[in-house]
Structure 1
Amino acid sequence: MAILKSYGACLRESSFQFPRSHRIDNYKRRNVKWRSPQAAIIPDFHLPMRSFEVKNRTSAEDIKALRLITAIKTPYLPDGRFDLEAYDGLVNMQIENGAEGVIVGGTTGEGQLMSWDEHIMLIGHTVNCFGGSVKVIGNTGSNSTREAIHATEQGFAVGMHAALHINPYYGKTSLEGLVSHFNSVLPMGPTIIYNVPSRTGQDIPPRVVNTVAQSPSLAGIKECVGNDRIEQYTGNGIVVWSGNDDQCHDARWSHGATGVISVTSNLVPGLMHELMFNGKNASLNAKLLPLIQWLFEEPNPIGLNTALAQLGVVRPVFRLPYVPLPLEKRVIFVELVNEIGRENFVGEKDVQVLDDNDFILVGRY
């Protein structure tokens, strides 16, 4: 008790040691003129990565050269956890068939159904296993700038080559807010901005893109608005990847797009490689269009998940709210595979029509 009393006395004594000028300084600080939020932004303040090795990672120029990037599917075990064995098989098939990059945890990879721990783990796993053979682009975007900053820091810390960033969805923001959001993450490393108004509810207009394009970290735009918009950007020297598989052939060969960020290449990577690398090929494009249209009859990745399960390369497990396509659509897919040729699709098993009872729907995982 005596010790406690003496300690309390010390605290009381120490409380009188602050000089009078300190209180005056506090008063002055409370009366400093308010500055606008824009003026108060400190560039790069949040960046902890200053090592020599990090500075010499993949440059934006390296990302700009990629022609075929696959938005890779994330497969699951029956309990809803990642099936990393199946995932590694999918990525290997992409590399073997000429894909130059993969988007990890994008819309197709169901990043929206992942915790951030799962998200960053999968990015790190992909870098660790395949980073020497393919560029790993992690989807670390968010409608919260704070989350986007934190996830992007973590993504680059585990070695991803570039980040994919969407504009803030649902709540949305002003055009000035879009610029500030992207400028908060661009300094971290090579970045692809993803414009898909059908999902976000808001277009990223050229005014915003032309402003943030001043950053040397902007690798380019994944553009889903259409080929007229793509040509507008490519005419100004901005790199663009088509985000629409059904338009990517014309985007590449008639509108200046560097290539495509593709869903369809999960299924037929070799044919998509041919479409992006070997010049105009209207007949091949026409051959693939029925498959592409089938894939997107329901919101992506419902069609892709169903197709890969029927090809036998992933387990027929769906994380809700995604569910498989109905039986009649599953039958049509088998017909499409036979028309295009089973040898052009991933995997080695015969394609089959799965029954409703073959699918596992997981709500908690």
Structure 2
Amino acid sequence: MSTLTSHKLCLKDSFTFSRPRSASPYACNRVYFRWRSPQAAAIANFHLPMRSYEVKNRTNVDDIKALRLITAIKTPYLPDGRFDLEAYDALVNMQINGGAEAVIVGGTTGEGQLMSWDEHIMLIGHTVNCFGSRIKVIGNTGSNSTREAIHATEQGFAVGMHAALHINPYYGKTSNEGMIAHFESVLSMGPAIVYNVPSRTSQDIPPQVMHSLAQSTNFAGVKECVGHERIKQYTDNKIVVWSGNDDQCHDSRWLYGATGVVSVTSNLIPGLIGQLMFKGKNSSLNAKLMPLIEWLFQEPNPIGLNTALAQLGVARPVFRLPYVPLPLEKRIEFVRIVKEIGRENFVGDKDVQVLDDDDFILLGRY
């Protein structure tokens, strides 16, 4: 009752009653009024109470800043299009055993763009529940809609993710000031990595925006895909950066000051990508891996990765459209690359094989 009493509104604070000047004093059966909105109707950056301030089990932003090898994890599917959690769990275990320190769940590689938000948050929660004590779980809760990004990020932290990944609003692009307001709306909830990939969003996040965001205590750093010079510009100003380009990650790490990489290739060879990140300059290993990296990205990610994991027997050959497997000649080429690098360096324990077109299942409805 005390709560209700403290929130009740007095009518005279919300309504102004008046009688038209021309009205007869005897014609007062009707009441004329002008409604005025209560001041409490609009509260800037208001979040529901689910955003707890309890810090006992929260991740310190410095723990996120220290990560060197982050795998953008693949999401495997069953033939009916549901998540294949058995295959997913096996793949995450392979990342942990290979030295990965974190996974990004539901990113572009994990096909978060093909998930409902229920699926998305469920997979984040599942990953935290099964692996959260062994590896950092970074949920991709970004969106081009600020409202959706806020809601998903609240839910992601509520189910226990350690940090969020946030992209700038794409397609319906905004101004620099709009980008800052968008990111600030979610930075208050917990540690966050800002993701800059102009090739997908068609809009670069300029350094002045990133420098402004870096003032937030929850700003962990930048996943940057523009290239070495941009990375050096940030590292010279003490901003943590992860390379978003596997073909550049070795040089970004050892020549331009990047802390590490958010890697697609580590889904396949976590141990070897770990060597590039943890054990100093190794130009010969980097050159040895370049044919695999170029093969993976000859078509937009995750087409190559999905094809490779199917041929390694780690994931079923099930694709959610609009993704389709690489053509047969490219699948044959992958087998050759695996043998050159060494099958023992790849995830899984089955022989690599060339799959036929009929082996793949393509799903438009799931």
Instruction: Tell me the TM-score normalized by structure 1.
Output: 0.90
Native 8 Å contact 2:16 2:36 kept in 1: no
Cα distance in 1 for partners of 2:331, 2:14 equals 78
2:13 touches 2:38 (CA, 8 Å); kept in 1? no
Give runs of aligned pairs for residues 5-16 of structure 1, distance below 5 A.
none
The aligned residue for residue 65 of structure 2 is 64
Structure 1 residues 20 and 73: CA distance shift in structure 2, 3 A: closer
* Partner residue of 1:42 out of 44, 57, 63: 44
Q: Distance in 1 between matches of 2:56 and 2:192?
A: 15
Structure-2 separation of matches of 1:19 and 1:187: 37
Contact 2:14–2:37 under 8 Å retained in 1 = no
CA contact 2:69–2:260 (8 Å) conserved in 1: yes
Q: Given that residues 47 and 188 in structure 1 are in contact (C-alpha distance below 8 angstroms), is that contact kept between their aligned partners in structure 2?
A: no
1:330/1:354 contact within 8 Å kept: yes
1:224-303 matched pairs, under 5 angstroms: 224-303=225-304
Deviations 1:245-279 (A, max 9, x none): 00000000000000000000000000001110000
Q: After TM superposition, which residue ranges in structure 1, 4 or more long, deviate above 2 angstroms?
A: 17-22, 24-32, 40-43, 47-56
How far residue 50 of structure 1 moved from its aligned partner, in angstroms, is 5.5
Q: Find the residue that maps to 2:306 and give its secondary structure.
A: helix
Displacement of 1:59: 1.4
CA contact (8 A) 1:251 1:257 kept: yes
Q: How does 1:1-365 map to 2 (within 5 A)?
A: 22-23=15-16, 29=36, 42-43=44-45, 45-49=46-50, 51=52, 53-54=54-55, 56-365=57-366
3-state SS, counterpart of residue 165 of structure 1? strand
Shift in Å, 1:42: 2.9
Could you report, residue by residue, the CA deviation over 1:208-243 in whole angstroms, capped at 9, with x for unpaired residues?
A: 000111001000000000010000001000000000
Deviations 1:27-50 (A, max 9, x none): 695799xxxxxxx8735x215245
How far does the alpha carbon of each residue in 1:11-35 deviate from its partner, in whole angstroms, 9 at most, with x for none? xxxxxx9559842699695799xxx
Provide the residue aligned with 1:10 in structure 2.
Answer: none
Letter of the structure 2 residue corresponding to residue 23 of structure 1: T
Which structure has more helix as a fraction of its residues? 1
Contact kept in structure 1, 2:307 and 2:317, CA below 8 Å: yes
Structure 2 Cα separation of the partners of residues 197 and 230 of structure 1: 14
The Cα of 1:53 is off from its aligned counterpart by 3.9
Question: 2: CA distance between counterparts of 1:142 and 1:52?
Answer: 24
The amino acid of 2:174's aligned partner reads T
The root-mean-square deviation of aligned C-alpha atoms, in Å, is: 2.0
AA matched with 1:179: I
Q: Residue type matched to 2:244 in 1?
A: G
Letter in 2 for 1:239: V
1:55 CA drift (Å) = 6.0
Q: How far apart, in 2, do the equivalents of 1:122 and 1:330 lie? A: 29
* Alignment deviations for residues 297-351 of structure 1 (CA, whole Å, 9 cap, x no partner): 0000000000000000110000000000000000000000000000000000000
User: Which residue identity is paired with 1:244?
Assistant: N
Structure 2: distance between partners of 1:284 and 1:155? 37
- Distance in 1 (CA, whole Å) between partners of 2:132 and 2:14 is 57
Structure 2 CA distance for aligned equivalents of residues 210 and 157 of structure 1: 28
Distance, in Å, in 1 between the alignment partners of 2:300 and 2:252 is 22
CA distance in 2, matches of 1:222, 1:59: 18
Instruction: Give 1:42's aligned amino acid.
Output: A
**2-structure distance, mates of 1:160, 1:261:** 17
Query: Is the contact between residue 51 and residue 154 of structure 2 (CA under 8 Å) also seen in structure 1?
Result: no
| Greater Cα shift, 53-62 or 192-201 | 53-62
Contact 1:72/1:109 (CA < 8 Å) preserved in 2?
Answer: yes
CA distance in 1, matches of 2:76, 2:51: 35
How has the CA–CA distance of structure 1 residues 318 and 292 changed in structure 2, closer, same or farther, with 3 Å as cutoff? same
Structure 1 residues 353, 20: CA separation in 2 closer, same or farther (over 3 Å shift)?
closer
How far apart, in 1, do the equivalents of 2:172 and 2:240 lie? 28
Aligned residue pair count = 341
Note if contact 2:15-2:36 (Cα within 8 Å) is conserved in structure 1. no
Whether the 8 Å contact between 1:245 and 1:260 is mirrored in structure 2 is: yes
Alignment match, 1:7? none
Identity rate, percent: 79
User: How far, CA to CA, are the matches of 1:256 and 1:75 in structure 2?
Assistant: 34
Aligned partner letter, 1:68: L
Q: Secondary structure at the match of 1:202?
A: coil
Amino acid at match of 1:184: S
* 2:93 maps to amino acid: N
The match for 2:24 is none
Q: 1:201 to 1:20 in 2, by over 3 A?
A: closer
Tell me if the contact between 1:138 and 1:163 (Cα under 8 Å) persists in the aligned partners.
Answer: yes
Tell me, in whole angstroms, the C-alpha distance in 2 between the residues paired with 1:154 and 1:21. 34
